[in-house]
Amino acid sequence: MPLSLKLLLVLLHNALSFGIRIAMLISVPKWHPPVTAMAWLLVIFIWPIPGFLFYLMFSSRKLPQKRTQRHEKSIAKLLEEDKTIDMIREYTMPQIPEKLEKFARLGQSLADMPVMGGNKIEAITDTYELFRNLASDIDRAKDHVHLLYFIINEDKATSCVLQALERAAKRGVACRVLADAIGSKRFLKKAAPQLRKAGVTVVEALPPSLFRRFKTNARFDLRNHRKIAVIDGVKAYTGSHNLIEPTYQRKANGLPWRDITLAIEGPVIAQIQRVFVEDWYVETGEFLQETIPQLELDSRDVLIQTVPSGPCYPTENYQRLVAAALHQAQNRIIITTPYLIPDEALMEAMEVAVLGGTKVQLVVPQKPDQILAGNASKAYYEQILNMGVEIYLYKDGILHAKTMTIDNDLAFFGTSNFDIRSFELNFEINLVLYGEVPLLDIRRIQERYIASSRKLSIDEWEKRPLHEETIQNVAKLFSPLL
């Protein structure tokens, strides 16, 4: 290549890079909060052309117009049927503790779902037990089976569930499966065709497109992270388990994932079903009108409120509730999460809780399964420890359960990690449980996690090698984008 041509290309590259930097410096702060804007500008200033392309692909959390319209239409249709949920709520007559009434109203304002009483829950931690129970319930199904999971995989652990689906479909039960297009990519390619032949309707959720070429496609990194199973409207499962064997195909050197799923009976199933119906309509254009069966109320009267969240909502629903709960805590908070990449509001809320005399305990995996997210999480440890928060490193596998208990009467449970991605980008479903009985069910498991962990001290953490600290701090710079 002639020297003059090389010089011309270098000049063009430099001019383009300079132009991108100036243009992004003007536009990026306009569309993003300061922390996120700074992270994007860092990427763009280091790698102008690749950074600009990444910005075009991943910067906007907005959904395509057609998908947004379908979501709004589904909400309108479901609101028309709110009389059904209101009717159920009338005869459950939940008695919310007085000090939690304002919090319950906040949850209803954010998610359009009230607290429902008369429920029964069972916490399941053994993956194989969960799949056996789910398969057994599917074998008893008479009307419909609805499954929505981020990851579905065909393996020795899940084969009983997939085979039960085939049997149910062959006897005339309406079986619908919604699987995230990225998380369940292998399943959709290899196992879904066999299920479809058996009569199971399998649909991929959020089919990706880097530049959203199609009206219903989503940005590549916007994922449906929900985990839902509803059988005949009388039994539901939700929690952190995906439909895959517990080592995730030896993803982390064979370490098992530690999860919790709640098996639920009672009126709140109508809300969980509603989340599935909404997602199904957005993906297929088919609105499911399932009749709500007569439900037997449980004498324990567990009070539950469903809180869906995702980029289709105007507010970060779950983040707002978590922050509000932290601010009102008085005695003790326990949080378990595989990924902790907190935003400023969450950090401030934890600090305020500690300053107010509340004991805050955080349980995270000793060995995270993701390098970048894991190092970004660790970058916050020093600040969190200096606040007075206790950090416990779980040693017995990959802690994947996402829970929070507040004092003795408020528990959070579901699919959402305590990170920016779950709060802002992923479609999640979480439950808020009111009262001492359900909290104790979750807290007993949290206490087991703490017993299988080692407490991290600030002295130990400050002695970590310099190269590890450097990697963590660099990863932290990109935490608003993870």
Alpha-carbon span 266 to 233, nearest angstrom: 9
Q: Please list the active-site residues.
A: 225, 227, 232, 400, 402, 407
Cα–Cα nearest to 175, from 150, 157, 209, 199: 199
The pLDDT tens digits of the residues spanning 54-78 come to 777 666 666 665 666 666 666 666 6
> Chain centroid to CA 436: how far?
25
For tokens 């007993």, what's the residue? 444
Cα–Cα nearest to 28, from 44, 50, 16: 44
- Compute the CA torsion angle 299, 270, 110, 480 (nearest 10 deg): 100
Q: Write the CB contacts of 325 (distance below 8 Å, at least 6 apart in sequence).
A: 103, 404, 406, 410, 412
| Domain 317-481 annotated CATH 3.90.1010.10 | no
Tell me the C-alpha to C-alpha distance, in Å, between residue 332 and each of 294, 313, 323, 336, 354.
38, 30, 15, 14, 9
For residue 42, the model assigns a pLDDT of: 75
What is the token pair recorded at 398?
């990959």
For residue 215, the model assigns a pLDDT of: 47
Q: Do domains 65-101+117-300 and 317-481 have the same CATH topology?
A: yes
Cα–Cα nearest to 158, from 171, 149, 170: 149
Low-confidence ranges of the chain (pLDDT < 50): 212-217
- Three-class SS of the chain: CCHHHHHHHHHHHHHHHHHHHHHHHHHHHHHCCHHHHHHHHHHHHHCHHHHHHHHHHHCCCCCCHHHHHHHHHHHHHHHHCHHHHHHHHHHHCCCCCHHHHHHHHHHHHHHCCCCEEEEEEEEECCHHHHHHHHHHHHHCCCCEEEEEECCECCCCCCHHHHHHHHHHHHCCCEEEEEEECCCCHHHHHHCHHHHHHCCCEEEEECCECCCCCCCCCECCCCCECCEEEEECCCEEEEECCCECCCCCCCCCCCCCEECCEEEEECCCHHHHHHHHHHHHHHHHCCCCCCCCCCCCCCCCCEEEEEEEECCCCCCCHHHHHHHHHHHHCCCEEEEECCCEECCHHHHHHHHHHHHCCCEEEEEEECCCCCHHHHHHHHCCHHHHHHHCCEEEEECCCEECCEEEEECCCEEEEECCCEEHHHHHCCEEEEEEEECHHHHHHHHHHHHHHHHCEEEECHHHHHCCCHHHHHHHHHHHHCHHHC
For residue 167, the model assigns a pLDDT of: 96
For residue 421, the model assigns a pLDDT of: 77
Residue 108 CB-density burial (10 A; 0-12 exposed, 13-18 middle, 19+ buried): middle
Residue 133 corresponds to which amino acid? Answer: N
For residue 213, the model assigns a pLDDT of: 45
Alpha-carbon span 41 to 142, nearest angstrom: 55
Cβ-count burial 154-188 (b if 16+ within 10 Å, e if not): beebbebbbebbbebbeeebbbbbbbbbbbbeebb
Of the candidate CATH numbers 3.40.50.10800, 3.30.870.10, 3.90.245.10, 3.40.50.300, the domain formed by 65-101+117-300 belongs to: 3.30.870.10
Report the alpha-carbon angle 473-344-108, nearest 5.
140
In the chain, domain spans: 3-58, 65-101+117-300, 317-481
What is the token pair recorded at 458?
């600030």
For residue 357, the model assigns a pLDDT of: 93
Residue 26 corresponds to which amino acid? Answer: I
- Compute the CA torsion angle 60, 62, 65, 70 (nearest 10 deg): 150
Query: Do strands 174-180 and 227-231 pair parallel, antiparallel, or not at all (unpaired)?
Result: unpaired
